Each structure stands twice: as structure tokens, then as C-alpha cells.
Amino acid sequence: MSAGNAFLARKQRELGVALNEVQQKAVLQTEGPLLLLASPGSGKTTTIIMRIGHLIEGKGVDPSRIKAVTFSRASASDMKERFQRFFPDLPPVHFSTIHSLAFEVMRIYLHRKEIPFQIIEGDVDPEEQVQDQDQGDPGAEHLPLHKKIILRRLFQSINGENITDDQMDELTTYISYIKNKMIPEERWNAVKTDVKQAERILREYEAFKRSGRPKLLVDYDDMLTIANEALERENGLLRSYQQKYDYVLTDESQDTSVVQHAIIEKLVKGHGNLCVVADDDQSIYSWRGAEPSYLLQFKRVHPKAVTLLMEQNYRSTKDIVSVANQFIKRNKDRYNKNMFTRNPAGKPIRVRSLANFADQTKYLVREIQKVENLTEVAVLYRNNSSSIPLMNEFDRAGIPFYMKDADNRFFSHWVVEDILNFMRMTYTDRRPELLEKIYAKFNGYITKQQMAAVKAFHTNESVFDTLLDRVQLNEYQIKPLKASQETFRQMRGMPPRPAIQVIRERLGYEKALEKMCERLGFRKEYLLGILNTLEEIADTLQTMEEFASRLKYLESVLKTAKSRKGQNAVTFSTFHSAKGLEFERVYMIDLVEGIIPSAEDLKSGSPERGASLIEEATRLFYVGMTRAKQHLELLTYKERDTEKTTASRFVTAVMTILNPPKPPATFERKPAAASSGRGYKQSPGQMGERWNSAVPEAFNPNAITNQKELAPGLEVKHRVFGRGTIVRVNRERVHIRFEKTEKALSIATCLEKRLLEPV
């Protein structure tokens, strides 16, 4: 028996870890480049740990000569803990993030150059990092040296207005993307972003950090670019790192960026002992610079590389694995893998098409109340904003939950603050400072100068009376101002949900938001989503005071939910943050077009870019599906706040896999009666009925399933006959006029087989 096989046999006896054939090959293939493509639930971490253990125990490699690079601190910590459990008597191995490695290289490089530096990102206290500014620098005389504060001041200086949290997110993503992709300065303007003057802000941000202050200012992305630059320029430093590690392993490499790959490639250039562990089907971070094409081109960089496919899934039922495997094959830019499992079948994937958005959270509450072990339940969604309605309903139902990536910015969002200020105006319209916050966001047509005049009067009367009686107005302003004053008066004491609807419609707040979106590049769907969520929170509440209190309470609940990890609580998580996790029961929600795939995915500038975005959205959906062990449920709905929605194309794809279409039935030609003169004898109604019976029963989440929805004049689409208009409906049949004919179809069959959908 070889030393490698002896090692595997010994660990099987000691730990009960039995590796399959591919896993064994991955453990024993220690020399040269190895690309290990690991499907979800394929025992990737166990294989990595066993491979490192074999290097030390089986081949006598010094642990300090092995470098394992992971994507996150949590992953590094998990690997370190598992290695100690598997090999308690062995010295520790270097498990670290790529940023940790880059920081180490950068620190040595800058120390040798005698360049002091200061980190301006992360858990640094902005108030403790105040440094004198030269005249002409952005911001105040003393600027806190923190990345977001610097960017906020630059945005205000350049654009003349304050940056929102959403714009800050997009701006920092834009900067990270450019640095991680190593995009040269002359091509910065080619990177798409909705943030005004983003390129200029980035140029001034970079100049500010390097503008001769006592210390070089460094953010997290700079750690990577400076480390890569250091290894390029300093041969001695590069050689010292190349000689420090004989074996390098990178995990989650599908999420690694261009600059991160460049650092790793420099480290292994001498010995070539690089093990890259990845799954191109789970690459979901291209928006922040990840480069999945590196995996597809691995053989070009390393012609002698061995590629191993870990395709056996140990996590999920055969039903889930089979559908997920077929689903991901929609993508073209991928390795041709075939995920499989020897687990039993279990229950089929369930798809729920609910009438409206509000039914979704109510359904989840009903279903999850039946479950005892809540730690094995996860509700997954594309956007963090989906968590707020969930949190509201689950809190009311008394179901504990853990927020994987809680984001309490919702409660401090300016749209939320606007709505509260509108409500405050219903209690008293004598506070000019309240009007100042919302005067440009409703249909009073108040100018900035007129607002300043109101503030200057210092009267204790209605701000509307001040405007009408004391401020010079244009004739067209008088009527809408009086109407607005009366609307605020009528809203006094109104329940919060109808009050929000009045603010949106009669006071014109929603139209004001639309104009702001056009002018400032905000995402309209996102802002309207906040308003919709506020209405849902307001539902069942009686007073505006209760609504304001509920928002404060939910904000505190959100903070508490962050600390429930490991407790008997349901996990709420985005698809992105759920990667690497697994649960017995998974519910994927808000599966409608515009959310997944997102509106941005669907409106990209070029066909090539559009295809790339849809492929990434497909991978994201696949990540969500493969978190489930036993029970996977996909939730979509037909309507949200009176707006029609369309089920995600990914839900439709899953249903096609579950119920593949069958070829239409053929009809036996029968001799006609002598008087007929036709080859077969059948009325149009009978013909339609037989076609109904022949159509395969496939799931259509937008189909009409309630007879009450069938009404004369309604335009519908039949799965076989195409578009038509309902002419009349009786107890058993619906008569539909199609382009060339009219057919009488069985209502029961149409509803049961989901043959009709509204157009």
C-alpha cells in the first residue's frame, strides 16, 4: 500500500472519513497545478483539510511551508477549526484571507520604503482620525480620515448635494470594481455607474490619499493593489515569499478578482504547486470584481494542470440535485459538470404562485409555525429590502429569526424619514423646519426662495397661511397650496396606511420621487419598494403614532436579530450571503421578474453584457436552490400593490424541468357522415375540448386558477391557440374569440391544466 493510501485508510479508521474516488485523487495530487471544481455539497472543505493533512503527515511537509487562502475570515476560521479537529497533534497551518496576506506584503513593502500608512476603512473610529487639511481640500477644516466620510465630502463638493446611502454603496462598489479588475486610469470612464461624477470623485479621492500628508491613506482595495505592485517591483520581496511557501491552496476561487489572482500567481511562479478549489457555477460576485473566466482559462495559464470534478452531492435529495443540475445547464460559459447524488429521492421541489405579495409572508408564517427545529429553516431572497416585511410578520407571529446580514439602513433611509415628516405635518403645520424637509417633494410647487422667506417670518401660524398671505407667489401656486393645506388637514387622525397612500398620490410624493430618479439616477423600483414596505408595516395599525413606534421597535428587533446565531430561530439571508450554508428546509421568495433577474440584469446596454448578467443571476438562483437538504420551496406572486407581476423566468425553467412538455396528441381521422363532405366530423367546441385534453399539464405561475377571473372582454393567452378575447362565460364553458376562430373550452380543464393567463 502506498504512503498516500495508507494515510487515507488510517484517517478513515480514526475519523470515519471515507473519501470517494475523486476526493482521494484530490488529496493525493499534491505536485503541480490542480484545478478542483467542487459542486455544492460535495465535501469540498473535508477534501481540502485532508489534502493539507496528507502533505504534512504523508509527505513530511513543514506546516509553515503551506499557505491556504480563503475568501472570508469566517471561512478561514472554519477551516482552521476543522483542521485542528482532524489533526489535533499537528502544528497550525497558515489559513488566512487574501486581504490578510496582501496587508502583510504591503506592510513590509511600505516599511522598507519608509512610507508610513494609515488604514481608513473598517472598524476605525472616524472621530479619532482627524487630521489637518490644507486649504482647498474637500470638506471642513478638519476631516475625519475614513473612506466613506472622505467620499461623502467629495461627493458634496463636486455635486453640490449630499450623497445617499444607496449612492454611497454604488460609489464604493464602482471604486472596488475598478481596482479589483486592475482597470487603467484612462479606461475608468468606460465603467458604468449611475453615480454622478463618479470618475471625477475617484480621481480626487486617489489624489487626496496621496497628497503629501504625514501618512499614506490606504483602504482595503489599496492593500491588494499595493501588494501586487510590491511583488512586481521588488524582486527581493517576491523571492522571499516564493521561498516561504512550497504549497499554496486557494478556496472559493470563483469569487477571486483579477488583482487577487495576480498576487497568487506571482507566489507560485517558481514551484507551480497551486491547488485552486472553486465552482464556476457559484460565481456570483462579478459586480465587485470577481473574475470567473480565470477558471475557464486555467489550462492556458497552467498547461500541465490536472482538473478534477467533484460532482457527487452529499447534501440534498435526489429530486433537488437532479433539478438543480439541469437548471444550471442553461448557462453556456461553464465547465460541463454533472452534479449527482446517491441520496434518496425525498419530496419534489414545490412551487407556490400566490395571489399577491402580502400573501407570501402570511403563507411563510403559517408553514413555518408547524416546524419545531427552526435552526434548520432558511428564507432566502435577492435583496435585503425583502427582509423587512418578513421581519414585521414573523415578529407579529412570535417566530424568532436570525438575520444573516442584517441591514438597518432601511429605517434611516431618507424616504422613510420623508413619510414620517409628512405625517408630522398633519399634527402641526406651524413648523417651517418640517416644511423645509419636504417642500420640494409634494405638489405645492414651493421654490427655495419662498421656503427661505417662510423661515424668515418667525410667525406661529400655519406655514401655508404664511405662504399664502405673506410670501410673493405665482398665480398657479395658490390653488395647489390651498389644496395641499386642506389635504394635510384631512389626514389628521387618519390610519397610517391610507395616510401613506394619500401622501403618495394626492400630495404627489410618488411623482416627485420619479422626477428625482430621472435627475439623480436613483433606482425607482427600489424607492417605490420602500414605500410599499412602509404600507405593509402600517397595515392593521390605527394611528400614525403607532406607525412611528412600530418603525422604532422593528429597528431594535433588527439589531437583536443579529445576535440570534445558533439559537432556535429561522435564518433570513440574501442568496449571496447564504453561499456555503445548508438547511433542511429552504424557502426562496420574491421570485418575480425585476427582482431575479433584476431590472438591471434585464436592461443592460449590450447583448453580450446582458447574457453575462443573466448567467450570473442564473448562478445566484442555483446557489439558493442548492442550500436545501430535504425541502425546497419557490414562492412567486401575481401582484404587488395593484401592480401585476410576472413569475421569474427561473421559476418557469424549474417547472419545465419538473413537468417537461409532451408532444401534442394526434387525432385519429374518422370517416365523415355522407352529408358532411369533410374528412372528420367535429364541432369547433368539441375540437377545442379535445385540444384542451391533449395539452400537457405544465405549471404556469401566471395562469388563471379561479373561475371568477374569467369575464367577458378579458384578453387571455391560451397555451396552444395563442391570444384571444373572452366573449362569454357560462357554468361549464368559456367562449374565446381567437384570431381566426372562436372556441368553447371547458372551464374546469382550463383551470386545472392552467391553460389560460391574462394578457
Q: Tell me whether residue 567 is exposed, middle or buried, using C-beta atoms within 10 angstroms of its C-beta: 0 to 12, 13 to 18, 19 or more.
A: exposed
Rounded distance between C-alpha atoms, residue 623 and residue 281, angstroms? 8
pLDDT given at position 392: 93
pLDDT given at position 460: 86
Given a cut of 90, whether residue 72 has pLDDT beyond it is: no
pTM for the complete prediction? 0.81
Given a cut of 50, whether residue 126 has pLDDT beyond it is: no
Residue with more model confidence, 713 or 657? 657
The predicted model gives 81-102 an average pLDDT of 92
* Cβ–Cβ < 8 Å for 446, 467: yes
449-461 confidence digits (pLDDT tens): 999 999 998 888 9
The predicted model gives 706-713 an average pLDDT of 82
DSSP letter (8 states) at residue 675: T
pLDDT given at position 695: 37
Phi, psi of 471 (to 5 degrees): -105, 140
pLDDT given at position 651: 96
pLDDT given at position 427: 93
* Cβ–Cβ < 8 Å for 607, 613: no
Q: Name the E strands within 322-473.
A: 350-354, 377-381, 401-403
Rounded distance between C-alpha atoms, residue 758 and residue 500, angstroms? 30
pLDDT given at position 94: 87
* Cβ–Cβ < 8 Å for 65, 245: yes
Within 10 angstroms of residue 283's Cβ, the number of other Cβ atoms is 26
The grid coordinates listed for 736 are: 374565446
The predicted model gives 252-263 an average pLDDT of 92
Q: Name the E strands within 166-241.
A: 216-218
* Cβ–Cβ < 8 Å for 306, 33: yes
Rounded distance between C-alpha atoms, residue 638 and residue 4, angstroms? 57
Residue with more model confidence, 154 or 4? 154
Helix pair angle (3-15, 21-28), 10° resolution: 120
DSSP 251-267: SSGGG-BHHHHHHHHHH
277-298 confidence digits (pLDDT tens): 999 999 999 887 888 788 888 9
* Cβ–Cβ < 8 Å for 220, 297: no
pLDDT given at position 478: 93
Instruction: Give the confidence band of 232 by pLDDT, cuts at 50, 70, 90.
Output: very high
145-169 confidence digits (pLDDT tens): 899 999 999 999 999 988 888 889 8
485-542 confidence digits (pLDDT tens): 999 999 999 999 999 999 999 999 999 999 988 887 788 888 888 999 999 999 889 9
Given a cut of 80, whether residue 700 has pLDDT beyond it is: no
Residue type, 518: E
Rounded distance between C-alpha atoms, residue 616 and residue 632, angstroms? 21
The predicted model gives 44-73 an average pLDDT of 93
Q: Tell me whether residue 219 is exposed, middle or buried, using C-beta atoms within 10 angstroms of its C-beta: 0 to 12, 13 to 18, 19 or more.
A: buried
Q: How far is CA 562 from CA 193, 365, 583, 729, 744, in A?
A: 31, 20, 18, 54, 57
488-503 confidence digits (pLDDT tens): 999 999 999 999 999 9
pLDDT given at position 263: 96
> What does R_g of the chain's alpha carbons equal in angstroms?
31
Instruction: Give the confidence band of 143 by pLDDT, cuts at 50, 70, 90.
Output: low
Rounded distance between C-alpha atoms, residue 218 and residue 124, angstroms? 12
What b/e string do you get for 36-59 counting C-beta neighbours within 10 Å, with b at 16 or more? bbbbbbbbbbbbbbbbbbbbbbbe
The predicted model gives 162-189 an average pLDDT of 92
Helix (H), strand (E) at residue 612? helix 607-625
> Helix or strand or coil: residue 371?
coil
Q: Supply angle C-alpha 378, 122, 191, rounded to 5.
A: 85
DSSP 41-56: TS-HHHHHHHHHHIII
What b/e string do you get for 126-136 counting C-beta neighbours within 10 Å, with b at 16 or more? eeebeeebeee
Instruction: Give the confidence band of 128 by pLDDT, cuts at 50, 70, 90.
Output: very low
Phi, psi of 73 (to 5 degrees): -65, -35
Instruction: Give the confidence band of 743 by pLDDT, cuts at 50, 70, 90.
Output: confident
pLDDT given at position 675: 37
The grid coordinates listed for 513 are: 420621487
* Cβ–Cβ < 8 Å for 551, 541: no
Please name the residues in contact with 147: beta carbons below 8 A apart, sequence gap of 6 or more.
120, 121, 172, 219
The predicted model gives 577-595 an average pLDDT of 95
Instruction: Give the confidence band of 664 by pLDDT, cuts at 50, 70, 90.
Output: low
CA dihedral 128, 134, 136, 138 (to 10 degrees): -20
Helix count and strand count (H, E) for the chain: 32, 23
Q: How far is CA 55 from CA 4, 67, 243, 528, in A?
A: 9, 12, 17, 56
Q: Tell me whether residue 189 is exposed, middle or buried, using C-beta atoms within 10 angstroms of its C-beta: 0 to 12, 13 to 18, 19 or more.
A: exposed
Rounded distance between C-alpha atoms, residue 577 and residue 382, angstroms? 10
Q: Tell me whether residue 16 is exposed, middle or buried, using C-beta atoms within 10 angstroms of its C-beta: 0 to 12, 13 to 18, 19 or more.
A: exposed
Rounded distance between C-alpha atoms, residue 536 and residue 546, angstroms? 14
* Cβ–Cβ < 8 Å for 221, 180: yes
Rounded distance between C-alpha atoms, residue 588 and residue 624, angstroms? 7
Q: Tell me whether residue 326 is exposed, middle or buried, using C-beta atoms within 10 angstroms of its C-beta: 0 to 12, 13 to 18, 19 or more.
A: middle
Long-range contacts of 190-195 (CB under 8 A, 24+ apart): 192/605, 194/170, 194/521, 194/522, 194/523, 195/155, 195/167, 195/170, 195/171, 195/521
Rounded distance between C-alpha atoms, residue 268 and residue 522, angstroms? 44
Given a cut of 80, whether residue 115 has pLDDT beyond it is: yes
Half-sphere CA count of 266, side-chain side, radius 13 A: 24
Half-sphere CA count of 680, side-chain side, radius 13 A: 9
Cis previous bond, 116, omega within 30: no
